[in-house]
Amino acid sequence: MSTHAHRMISATLIVIALATGGSLGAQELPRLMPDDLFRRNIGEQGDMDRRFPPHRVMDNLYYVGTASLASFLITTPQGHILVNSCFDRTVPLIQQSVEELGLDFEDIRIVLGSHAHGDHMQGDGLVKEMTGAQVMVMAEDVPLLHPGGDASAHPIDRVLRDGDTVTLGGQTLTAHLTPGHTPGCTSWEIELEEGGESYTALINCSIGVNPNYQLWQNPNRPGIVDEYRYSHAKLRSLDIDVPLGSHPGIYNLAAKYGRIGQTPNPFIDPEGYLYEIAINEQAMTLRLEEQRRAAGN
């Protein structure tokens, strides 16, 4: 049996264990609330503006973000794809990381985003101004970027739909609509190769519940809980070997970075992918129940 097959069997057993209230190996699923996961993702003071060492994740996919804001560069013979420009103030840090890898920032041709929050997509316009890249956005997030219908608020060259693909230089990314965190939250799937094997990577948009989100009977987003549940199921249905995310904490970058160069590649982690879905699903359920009780229901 191949190493890949062993990984997938292991991941399947973990899903069964979590779904039946079991354990993840010897570790019980911790009782984490949305606030705990939010703090994990945001990190310590200054982490958003502290460059994390740029590095190759696998194949032609590189990390060029900060200690708590993830940005990824996919290189191709026809230019680069940047996923997550982050804040305007982050763009120079991303540029520095790209150039430290020996790559040209000006070769960015496409800018994609995880979701329409400033810490992930505010810098889109600046990157476009610096490189001429096209900015592509999931349709459901366009109203957040164009409040009041103001198209000048954020550049958008292509509006995407669930399942659309983005191709450059022979490299294709698939856009998966995984709503909840925002209506147009987009998780990006990409095929990679290493050691003669193929691996599927996913840049998880985020299925985290911000501490201030109203889940129970939200008048502005009455379907928000259904959106999260849809995304939990959608992400579980994907066969992912290399989990990544819009924040490094989503895939435990700090620990994995210390094992770069080891075999197998530390970013191959299907169990961690399923674990992240499980702890976020549990946190959402706990917060929903908390809000329901507080409302006297």
pLDDT tens figures, 215-229:
999 999 999 999 999
Considering only CA atoms, which of 114, 294, 291 is closest in space to residue 213? Answer: 291
Question: What is the reported pTM?
Answer: 0.92
CB 131 within 8 A of CB 106: yes
pLDDT of the residue at 28: 79
pLDDT tens figures, 94-141:
999 999 999 999 999 999 999 999 999 999 999 999 999 999 999 999
Residue indicated by tokens 């990381």: 97
Look at the chain and report how many structural domains it folds into.
1
E strands, 59-133, where? Answer: 61-63, 72-76, 79-83, 108-112
Angle (deg, nearest 10), helices 270-294 and 34-42: 130
pLDDT tens figures, 1-44:
334 444 444 444 444 444 433 334 435 799 999 999 999 999 99
pLDDT at 274 over 50: yes
Residue span of the structural domain in which 169 resides: 3-294
CATH of the domain at 124: 3.60.15.10
pLDDT at 213 over 50: yes
